[in-house]
Every structure is written in C-alpha cells, then in structure tokens.
Amino acid sequence: MTDLLHQTVDLPCGVTIPNRIAKAGMSEQLAARDGSVTPELRRLYATWATGGAGLLVTGNVVTGRDALVEPRNVIVDSDRAVPGLREWSGAVRGAPSHLWMQIGHPGRVATVPFNRRPVGPSARREAVPGFNLRKPRALSVRDVERIVARFAQTAALAVESGFDGVQIHAAHGYLLSQFLSPLANTRTDRYGGDAAGRRRLLLDTVEAVRDAVGSDTPVGVKLNSADFQYGGFDEGESLDVVRALDGAGVDLVEISGGNYAVPAMEGVAHRDDANASRGYFAGFATRAREVTAVPLMLTGGLRTRAAMELAVARGIDIIGMARPMAFVPDYPARILAGEPEPMLPTGPPTLGYRPVDGYLQLAAHSHQLHRMARGLTPQRTAGLGTVARSLTRIGVAGAAQAVLPRDYG
C-alpha cells in the first residue's frame, strides 16, 4: 500500500487534488486588526505550500465584523478584501498544493468583547465558562437568510481572489453546527423542529455557495461526526446529514467532531481509546463511506503512515493533518517520501477539565504558527512556557475566553 498516499483524488466538480494528504484548518490569528491579510499570514502559507500536502485549507475566515471567532480573524465582507486575498493566494501559486478558504460564523461563541450580544439558532447559552454569561439572541428567519447570503458572498470573493475552492465550516460548535444540535437549536420554524429542519440552514448555505462559485469550483463541508454531548448532535443524525449532502453539490466532506464543551477534535475525548491512533473519528468515517459517494476527508489523530494508508484502504479519500504541521510544516512530504514519522511533542500538561485542556493544546500550537509567520522555525516543545508566551500574545481580548479551546483538527 506504499503508493496509496501519492494517488490523486478526483472531485465531482472535475478538479483533481494531487495527493491524499491535506493540511486541515487551523486558526492562525494573523490578520491585521481590521481583518485584512498580513505579510505574516502569507509567509506562513508559503511555508506550508512547500510542505507536501496536496490541499491546504485555511483557518476560519469570517463573513463579517460582527462574526469574529477570535481576535485577528481574516474578515471577508466586501470587495475591499480582494487585493489582500490575492496576495494570500499568491503565496501558494506555483506550488502543487491547492488552497481552499474555510468560511465560518461563530454564532453564540463569538469573541468577547467584539460581540457582546452573540446570535444563535435559539436564545440558549453555551454551557462553557466564558460563554454561559452571555445569552445569545435568537436569529429571525430573515437574519438566517442574510447569513446564507454572506457565506455566498465570501465564497465568491475567495474564488475571485485566486483561491482554488472553499470549505463551509459546519463543525466544532460554530453557527451551522449549532443549528444541527438539538441542544442549541430549539426552534419550531423551518430551521428547527426536527432533524430535517435543523440541517436546512447547512443545505441552504451549500446551495447558495455553489450558485456563487459555479459548478467547476470545489465546495467542501466540515462536519462533526458527533458533538459528544448527551442529547446533542449524534452519529445517527450526522449520517443523515452526510446522505443529504450527497445530492447537494458538495465535493468533499471533512469529518471531525466535538465543540467548546467537549473538544474531541483536540483528542481530549479519546485519550483512553486504544483505536485513537487510527484516527479519532475513523469508525464514523467508515460508516459514512457506506452511505455516500462524495469524497471524504478524515481529520484528527492520524500521525503514522500505516494509519493513513489503512484509512485510505477503508475508503477515505483524503487524510487531514493539522497540529502536526504546526511543529513539522513538511510532515506530509516526509510521509510521502517514506521517511520515519517525525517525533512530536507530547503537549502541555493536562488539568482534567476538557475545555481548559483543549485551550492549552491550542496555545501550544498557536505559538508555533506565529513563529513560522515571522520566518522562524517551530520550537520542538509544547510545555507551559510555550503556552504562557501564546497567552501573552493573545492579550486582554483573548484572556476573557482563556479557558476555551479554539478550532484545531
């Protein structure tokens, strides 16, 4: 099976990904304070463009200034963003990697203090310290329609600016994920009431984005296998969403899991799972393969060539990597070359509280992204000193949510 990871992947829209390894989305926090692209962000992606991955998916790009996930997100809400975006996509131009923009909206987990009254599917707080103090405003149907239009606008601007594709973020407890969750979404209108209603916003968004970018541009969706919360979005409903996406014009479904309350995407929900090294969500991915013909990307916990090849042999089309590429930016190239898997830090100490442990993981990796953005090599450590430096960089705005994980796969 040694050639499996070198194989190309043909997407339904007609685009071919040059190999089976992708860099999954990681929140960079490298935009300027006005949300524009910076030289540091371009430098980071120029580094990854030579790292061997066939596909690079950006971190969360938000659709408006009232929709920040965290400080220094890239904001794409008008054609004023196009010149900077062209410079960003240009940093990858000429490399074999394709570059997709991940587009998201935080909903009720918007950053303090940029949005003191967040929005959500219903007026229900997120049960995590830092968010449970703020009761979100329930979106009206008209509000929901505006958000769909904003996703489409951002996607169109991305393609105009040279990005090869877009990914709609519907995982990790952000707005589209909130609409899918019975815990967050208690609506009784067409965007709630039952599982079909709860997935309507995602399907409407996919349709609008597809119309905006055309039939020959890749459109992906990042989806939770489950939220890992009692009474929340579970694997049964997720499989139904996968089935629905099969006929919706989607080119790639990336499978992840978890949210702010249970950051399974960080691995904190899988430490005692003997099969975690095969991929945190590999079991679900195998079941998803049985119900859809859409290409699948599996992200989370895949570190060894053997595990990646096994996943491909079981029907997964693309292997997603995120945190390893914060410490070893050419990790895919080393895997494809048949080299031994690079050694990775064990991570910062854990405290036994999942939201905090997830945030400590974020901080350790975020610091490395900022080093690469400054032209430095990553540090081969993930201790408390690294975490402290990352917290210092995030500053006062981020400290209001310092117990919270961010979006890493």
Query: CA gyration radius for the chain?
Result: 19
Dump pLDDT digits (tens) for 294-321.
999 999 989 999 999 999 999 999 999 9
- Which H or E run contains 362? helix 354-373
Handedness of CA 180, 184, 186, 187 (dihedral sign): negative
Q: Which helix (H) or strand (E) holds 387?
A: helix 384-399
The length of the chain is: 409
Residue type, 226: A
What is the domain partition of the chain in residue ranges?
Answer: 4-342
pTM of the predicted model as reported, rounded to 2 decimal places: 0.90
**pLDDT confidence of residue 23:** 98
pLDDT at residue number 230 = 87
**DSSP characters over 80-117:** GGHHHHHHHHHTTTTSS-EEEEEEE--GGGPPTTT-SS
Q: Which fold has domain 4-342?
A: TIM Barrel (3.20.20)
Residue 101: which region, alpha, beta or left (left: phi > 0; alpha: psi -120 to 50)?
A: beta
Q: Quick one: pLDDT at residue 159?
A: 98
Looking at residue 379, the DSSP 8-state letter turns out to be P
The predicted-structure confidence for 69-117, as pLDDT tens digits, reads as follows: 888 999 999 999 999 999 999 999 999 999 999 999 999 988 765 566 8
Which residues of the chain are under the pLDDT cut of 50?
Answer: 1, 271-272, 274, 395-409
The residues, any chain, with a CB within 8 Å of residue 34's CB and separated by 6 or more, are 75
Distance, CA of 13 to CA of 21 (rounded, Å): 19
- Tokens at 160, concatenated: 């105009």
Rounded Cα distance between 154 and 334, Å, is 34
Query: Given this model, what pLDDT does residue 388 score?
Result: 53
